Structures are given as C-alpha cells and as structure tokens.
Amino acid sequence: MDQREFDKKVKYFHENMPKQCPILYSMKIIGSKWKIPVMWYLMLNDGQHYNELKRSIGSITNTMLTKSLRELEADGLLKRVSKGTVPPSVTYHLTDTGKNLIYTMGDLFEWGKGLMEKEENPK
C-alpha cells in the first residue's frame, strides 16, 4: 500500500469513527489469546469435536479451550451442536457472524505469512 492509499484509508476511519472504537469492541469479543486460533481451525474444518479442536490448536489447555468455546458461543460466533446421544457427541460450527471474519482472518494470515517470510529471508 502506498502512502496515498494509506492516507485515504486513515481519512475514511476518521470520518466514520463512531463514539465507541470498533477495534476495541471487536477485540473485547475475539481478543483473547485462544479465540482466533479456535475460529481459524473451525474455518478450516467446520464441525469439529472438542478433542479434534484441541489437537489442531496444540498447546491450549482444556480450561482455556472450554472458556473460549463458551465465550465465542455466547457472543454468537459459533454454535455448539449436540446429537443427544450417549455418550454425548458435540460438534462446533461457526455461525454466519463467525464466518464473516474469514476476510479479516485471511488478511491476518497473509500479513503474518509475509512477516515470517521476511524473517526467514532477510535482505
């Protein structure tokens, strides 16, 4: 992005800023360490069981995964689907609101990938 595009975007943000900053509001909802990885792995493979998500994410504790799933469900970003069987079979799915983050997640993916490539291949 060149300086002109940057300045244009900043001007847009200034002109359209509501009373409460949307970034702060968004970070309140998805800003914990584990919520974005949970959503990312649900985007990659919708309908995962708890243990599948835990394996995908790696170093997350049971407590933090449970907390993140509950909070994301309460905020309307994912839904928990129970088949009502014994033993219980529960899967997690992104809601339409959660799916709307795909573009933002894609931008974060590309931004992070670019930084990683710069680090691996310094000039």
Q: What is the CATH number of domain 3-120?
A: 1.10.10.10
pLDDT digits over 87-104, tens only?
889 999 999 999 999 899
Calpha distance 111→109 (Å, rounded): 6
Max intra-chain CA distance, the chain = 60
- Torsions phi, psi of 92, nearest 5? -115, 140
**22 upstream amide cis, omega within 30 of 0:** no
pLDDT digits over 19-48, tens only?
888 889 999 999 999 999 999 999 999 999
User: Three-state SS for 78?
Assistant: strand
Can you give the pTM of this predicted structure? 0.83
| Domain locations along the chain | 3-120
